[in-house]
């Protein structure tokens, strides 16, 4: 006879979910607070959303963050796909150990070291710090995460499908594009989303590599919090939560549409 969940298990799950999501719920609720004080409820209001719409510095930071995230995630995913192919399908080649070590190194290195090393590189090359230095640094750091995600899926892919396509006359490159890539597309999309999220979240590396006109949203929020918590921060954070939630829901709906009525995957 199958037993239901124990009271301790229910309490543990409830406590864990509350610990994770209660701060987010409070942030969203207080973004509609009319009071200047973030801990005092003064009634429902869109005051801080109107203030955000007039804050050009905050909006510029949001724009820079989104552009950096989109470009760096695309670069990291493209390079991570190539690195995963080399590690999974290239066999034992000279320098493989060094190559894999260089790809995975950012996974275990502190962000302070990565940011400082990137700064020293740009200074030695006399590259002015700005939008592109932040973008390249983020792509370099998130490359390893994209590689891990894609490599795991590529390693479990049935290569006989790719070989069958080549037997039918396709070149290895066209067989990969026509057969392998569509099958590992969910992993590629997941790698891109992970790289994009890590770029949005980064503060340390951007602080080392940014310059005039390249202030990201985490840098802007951190500088404002040091001077005092402004309810406007709740408003911009709520909008970002909404964007991320919409992306997750959209990805779920697309995934469901690719499945048949019985849950089977539709080609």
**What is the CATH code for 57-230?**
1.10.3720.10
pLDDT of the residue at 258: 59
pLDDT of the residue at 20: 86
What pTM did the predictor assign? 0.82
Question: Mean pLDDT per 10-residue run, the chain (267 residues)?
Answer: 72 87 86 79 84 86 90 93 85 80 85 90 90 92 91 82 78 81 85 88 89 85 77 84 79 66 51
pLDDT of the residue at 255: 66
pLDDT of the residue at 73: 93
DSSP 122-141: HHHTTPPPSHHHHHHHHHHH
* Ranges of each domain in the chain: 57-230
10 Å Cβ neighbour count for 169? Answer: 8
Is the separation of the CB atoms in 254 and 186 below 8 Å? no
CA-angle at 109, arms to 93 and 140, nearest 5°:
65
pLDDT of the residue at 70: 92
Question: Which tokens sit at 126?
Answer: 């006399």
- How does pLDDT run across 125-138, given as a tens digit for each residue? 898 988 999 999 99
Question: Which tokens sit at 213?
Answer: 């006109």
């Amino acid at each position: 006879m199958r037993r239901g969940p124990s009271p301790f298990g229910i309490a543990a799950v409830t406590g864990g979910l509350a610990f994770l999501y209660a701060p987010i719920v409070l942030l969203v609720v207080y973004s509609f607070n009319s009071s200047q004080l973030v801990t005092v409820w003064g009634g429902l209001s869109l005051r801080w959303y109107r203030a955000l719409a007039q804050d050009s510095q905050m909006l510029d930071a949001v724009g820079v963050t989104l552009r950096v995230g989109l470009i760096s995630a695309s670069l990291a995913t493209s390079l991570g796909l190539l690195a995963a192919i080399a590690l999974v399908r290239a066999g034992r080649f000279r320098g493989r150990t060094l190559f894999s070590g260089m790809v995975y190194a950012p996974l275990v290195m502190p962000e302070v070291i990565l940011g400082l090393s990137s700064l020293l590189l740009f200074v030695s090359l006399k590259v002015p710090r700005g939008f592109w230095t932040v973008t390249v640094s983020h792509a370099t750091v998130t490359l390893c995460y994209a590689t891990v995600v894609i490599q795991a899926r590529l390693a479990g892919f049935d290569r006989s499908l790719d070989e069958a396509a080549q037997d039918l006359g396709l070149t290895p490159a066209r067989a990969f594009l026509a057969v392998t890539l569509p099958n590992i597309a969910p992993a590629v999309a997941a790698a891109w989303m992970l790289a994009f999220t890590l770029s949005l979240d980064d503060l340390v590396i951007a602080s080392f590599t940014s310059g005039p006109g390249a202030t990201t949203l985490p840098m802007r929020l951190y500088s404002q919090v040091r001077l005092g918590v402004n309810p406007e921060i709740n408003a911009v954070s709520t909008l970002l939560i909404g964007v991320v939630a919409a992306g997750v829901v959209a990805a779920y709906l697309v995934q469901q549409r690719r499945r048949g009525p019985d849950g089977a995957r539709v080609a």
